[in-house]
Amino acid sequence: NVIDEEESEYKEDPKMDFNSQDMAPICMTGKWFGRSFNRFRQLAHMIEFSHQNGGRPIRLNRMFHKWSIGWWFDFDQRDESLSSNILPHITLESTRGDTQGCFHTKDLKGWHHYVAGHTPEGYSPGLASLHQIVQKGFFDEAYQRLNQYKEQFAEEQRTKGRAGFTSEQVQVATVHSRWLEGNCPGRIRNNLLYCSNALDFTDELAEEWAVNACSYTEGYVRQQLQSLGYDNEDIVVVLCADGQLEEEEATFAYRDDSKFQTQTALMAISDIHFGNPGSSVDMGIAHWRQGKAMFPAECFKD
């Protein structure tokens, strides 16, 4: 989803006085790295840097701004109930690559570029705060999906003889299957992880995740739920997958086919979530779930 940064013209946001020394912005001037959630992390780094420097506004280059509003965010939207972190004002550069009047430090590059190295790096306030400005429509669609799965599962249970069983009794467990073009097991075995909190990494954990979390099956997920004390009879398991493991994905009775943004929101709001320690998507989801049950717990603990 690379967007041509020359495609359209934009006007500078008129609401902020960027000539004021006190309001000199943090400027995004480099290229993005990776796919959606690695770009989220770039923006999260800038938000955290802004907080460390008096809440200065953030100015995005055209390519990053267009991707942000075209695919994910509404910068005029604020739902502060979703996070304790107040977002700085986010706007657009007036000209391509122009950093005149920007607030500079020798460390700026490290904040606006994706930082290589995926070892466990802990909780990110900036990443958590992005939950506030994801376009509301994606979460609206996700709640509709969630309720549909609950209703469908409850109906199935009633046909099996559970008279009076209702959708209110159903819990939804989402599962993120991410094979990463075959790179997932190797990433995890080499400790290239996207965990939302620090952990004591062991070879045993790496092998468990490389074998099972890279290629989830419904049988494995149900086994884990039972061992964790959940009642499988009340849980509908919903797969959100990248479509790269046909055999494993076919083991799931419920496979979500909505667009990726809606699936991301669905995984953020479900009752239980099984993530992939090798996927940056699940690192973001762990922040957005705000402590709701997520597994493997050793990687995604709150």
In angstroms, rounded to a whole number, what is the distance separating the alpha carbons of residues 276 and 280?
8
Residue 209 contacts residue 199 (beta carbons within 8 Å): no
User: pLDDT of the chain along its 302 residues, tens only?
Assistant: 222 322 233 233 334 344 455 677 777 766 666 677 777 877 887 787 787 777 788 887 777 788 888 888 887 776 555 444 557 777 765 445 556 677 754 333 444 333 433 344 566 777 888 888 888 899 999 999 999 999 999 999 999 999 999 999 999 999 999 999 999 999 899 888 888 765 667 889 889 999 999 999 999 999 999 999 999 999 999 999 989 999 999 999 999 999 999 999 999 999 999 999 988 899 889 989 988 999 999 888 75
Going by the DSSP 8-state scheme, the letter that residue 296 receives in this structure is S
In angstroms, rounded to a whole number, what is the distance separating the alpha carbons of residues 24 and 88?
12
Amino acid identity at 256: D
Going by the DSSP 8-state scheme, the letter that residue 239 receives in this structure is E
pLDDT per residue as tens digits for the range 153-201: 999 999 999 999 999 999 999 999 999 999 999 989 988 888 876 566 7
Instruction: Work out the burial of residue 11: count CB atoms within 10 Å of its CB; fewer than 13 is exposed, 13-18 middle, 19 or more buried.
Output: exposed
Query: What distances in angstroms separate CA 38 from CA 8, 74, 78, 141, 152, one per listed residue?
Result: 24, 18, 22, 24, 35
In angstroms, rounded to a whole number, what is the distance separating the alpha carbons of residues 184 and 287?
21
The distance in angstroms from the start CA to the end CA of the chain is 32
Going by the DSSP 8-state scheme, the letter that residue 36 receives in this structure is H
DSSP, residue by residue, 70-137: IIIB-TT---GGG-SSPPPPEEE-SSTT--TT----TTHHHHHSPPP--S-----HHHHHGGGGB-HH
Q: Phi-psi bin for 97: left (phi > 0), alpha (psi -120 to 50), beta?
A: left
In angstroms, rounded to a whole number, what is the distance separating the alpha carbons of residues 19 and 72?
29
* Other CB atoms within 10 Å distance of the CB of residue 264: 25
Residue 32 contacts residue 63 (beta carbons within 8 Å): yes
